[in-house]
Amino acid sequence: MNPASFFLLVLSLGFAVMSVLVHGWTLNGIVPALLATTGGFWQLWMECLRHRSWLEHRDSGFAPGTQHLALAGMLGWSAATFAALAWAWLALRELR
C-alpha cells in the first residue's frame, strides 16, 4: 500500500473532526465531515484495488496498468475534499 493513501485518509478524517467540532452536529458540520471521510476512504479503496491487481499478476510476468485506479482515487479524493471545504467555507461565511 502507498503511505500517501493513509496520509490522505488521516488528513480527511482530521478535517471531518474539525468540521464537527466547529459546526457541531448540524447539517453544516455533518455534511462536510461525511464528504471528507468519503473522499479519504475512496482513495484508500482505489489503492486497495491497485494492490490486489498487482498481487494477482505479480508472478505472471505481465502486470496490467493500474494508472486509471490511481487517477480515479486522486480525482475522487480531490472532488470530495474540495466539496467539503467549499461547504465549510460557505457555512462559515453565513456565521458572520
* Per-residue pLDDT tens over the stretch 14-54: 999 999 998 889 988 899 999 999 999 999 999 999 888 88
CB 57 within 8 A of CB 63: yes
Q: What is the DSSP letter of 60?
A: T
Output the pTM of the full model: 0.81
Residue at grid coordinates 462559515: 92
Kindly give, in sequence order, each residue whose CB lies less than 8 Å from that of residue 36, ignoring residues fewer than 6 positions away: 12, 13, 15, 16, 19, 80, 81, 84
First-to-final CA distance of the chain: 43
User: Tens digit of pLDDT for each residue in 80-90?
Assistant: 999 998 998 88
